[in-house]
Amino acid sequence: MIPALLLFTISFLMFSLSMNLVYRALRDPTTSRVLDRLGESQPQFAEKIQGVAWLDRAFLQAGLGRPSERLGLWLSLWAVAIVLAGLLGGWWFFLAFVVLPPVLLKVFVSWRYHRRVRRMVEQLPLLLDHSVRSLKAGRTLTDAVLHAIEASSDPLKSSIGRVSRSVQMGVSLPEAVQDFAELYERDEFRMFALGLKVNHRYGGNASELLENLIVLIRERDQGARRLRAMTGETRMTALVLGMLPVFVVGFFMATNPNYMIKMWQDGGGQHMLLTALAMQIIGSVALWRMVRSV
């Protein structure tokens, strides 16, 4: 019975995937795909995000490409994994495969995004300094910024390269940088875009503007480093308090696994473990919010 049900499930998922591919091929011909790729560099602001575009935005921020192109395949594989887990492992494995993959994916994408953006902010003063030197050598502001983008290194070069593509397609430099700043949602990028917009509208000494922006970004970075150093003890305390119950459970499972197994097999013990798990999750979220507010 189970092999037949499993075969039917896999066949149904494959049929659904094939129909989805046929529908997308009919709905999205080659010309439309080419136009979509050409429009990727045009300014797209946050309020225009609809459908699964938020997923593409999150992956693009993390430097992982666009998952929507293979979304049907990944969802089908996830569904097959859920069905196999439910048939072979029971309800707990079924729930684990339903909940854990999205949570782990969200954590990984968020971690990758914050690490990438932090590195980009560290590289931004170098890009601005290169722009200042190009301006003093006689280049225009647009040429200086584009030349600095070409001379920068990854991950900033690959990320801010959308500015160069937008300018080449006719978008003004302030609008292109504003689009870049709205994508990565950092104050340093927004200040850069605002400075270019003010200079473009009212004029002024662009090199002096960029030099002041370099000083401001470096002072903000120094202040953030001092704050992290001052709150290091608080963050370490929260980490210890959050991980201590997990380590205790792991110690019991390594030294006396029968204790936890018998406790799970008992009705009262099962309720205690589930309550402890819920309290652990709530406490970890509360500690995380408290540390983020410091």
The tens digit of pLDDT for each residue in 82-123 reads 888 777 777 777 787 788 888 888 888 888 888 898 899 889
What pLDDT is recorded for position 245? 83
Share of the chain above pLDDT 90, in %: 0
Lowest mean pLDDT among 71-75, 162-166, 277-281: 71-75
Query: pLDDT band at residue 41, thresholds of 50, 70 and 90?
Result: very low
**Whole-number mean pLDDT of the chain?**
77
CA atoms within 13 A on the CB side of 156: 20
- Please, which contacts does 287-294 make with residues 24 or more away whose CB atoms are closer than 8 Å? 287/238, 287/241, 287/242, 288/238, 288/242, 290/238, 291/231, 291/234, 291/235, 291/238, 294/227, 294/231, 294/234, 294/235
In this model, does residue 177 exceed pLDDT 80? yes
Angle between helices 53-61 and 173-184 (to 10 degrees): 90
- Each residue's pLDDT tens digit, 215-240: 988 888 888 888 778 777 777 887 88
How much is the pLDDT for 290?
74
Q: If you search the block for the tokens 């909940």, which residue do you land on?
A: 99
Query: Does residue 192 register a pLDDT over 80?
Result: yes
Q: What is the pLDDT of residue 12?
A: 53
State the pLDDT at residue 34: 45
Name the residue ranges covered by the structural domains of the chain: 2-94, 114-227, 232-293
Q: According to the model, what pLDDT value does residue 46 have?
A: 40
Q: Is the model more confident about 203 or about 178?
A: 178
The answer, yes or no, to whether residue 17 has pLDDT greater than 80, is no
Domain 114-227 has CATH 1.20.81: yes
